[in-house]
Amino acid sequence: MIPRIISAAIDMDSVMNNGMSLPERLGLGLETMLIGLGTVFGVLIIIMAILYLFQFLFYTLPNRKKNASSTKEMAAVTETAVDETAHVNEVISDAEGDEGELIAAISAAVAVYLDQPASSFRVVSFKRINKNK
């Protein structure tokens, strides 16, 4: 199969005039097309594998090391956030009728969670979630 394709690529005039019938010429064209497509997709798969390898080496591994060191810091922040959330839940339950206090409590909880001052953002709206569902 491949020697026929190579000889056809070298001397196209011999393919056209050597007495090959139309089905034989179409078969040769189909073989050539399949080999070309296989080569192109094979190279694309190799490039994709190299890109995944680069992503693993230059993104995933450094982030794992960075996340391991920040996990200890996050544990302390999480404990503080849990304490503040319990306090905010008490404020929310006390502020059922007053939306101003509720917005202040939500702002305080978000500020503690993001570790930013409450003046750096504002609560535009909030939606109550029905706990019975």
- Which residues form the domain of 53? 2-120
Please tell me the predicted confidence (pLDDT) of residue 51: 94
How many domains does the chain divide into? 1
Measured between alpha carbons, how far is 12 from 24 in angstroms, rounded to an integer? Answer: 14
- Radius of gyration for the alpha carbons in the chain, expressed in angstroms and rounded: 34
Confirm whether 108 is domain-assigned.
yes
pTM flag (> 0.75): no
Cα 32 to its chain centre, rounded Å, is: 37
Do the domain assignments include residue 85? yes
Q: Is 67 exposed, middle or buried (0-12, 13-18, 19+ CB in 10 A)?
A: exposed
Q: What are the b/e assignments for 77-113, b being 16+ CB within 10 Å?
A: eeeebeebeeebeeeeeeeeeeeeebbbbebbbbbbe
Domain assignment present for residue 131? The answer is no
Return the pLDDT at 30.
93
Nearest Cα residue to 106 out of 94, 117, 120, 122: 122
Q: What is the model's pLDDT at position 4?
A: 67
Residue 62 located in a structural domain: yes
Q: Flag residues of the chain having pLDDT under 50.
A: 95
- Whether residue 32 is contained in a domain is answered as yes
Query: Rounded to whole angstroms, how far apart are CA atoms 28 and 128?
Result: 69
- pLDDT at residue 52, rounded to an integer: 93
Domain assignment of residue 41, yes or no? yes
pLDDT score recorded for residue 74 = 61
Q: Does the residue 60 lie in any domain?
A: yes
130 belongs to a structural domain: no
| pLDDT tens digits, one per residue of 4-36 | 666 666 666 665 666 778 888 888 889 999 999
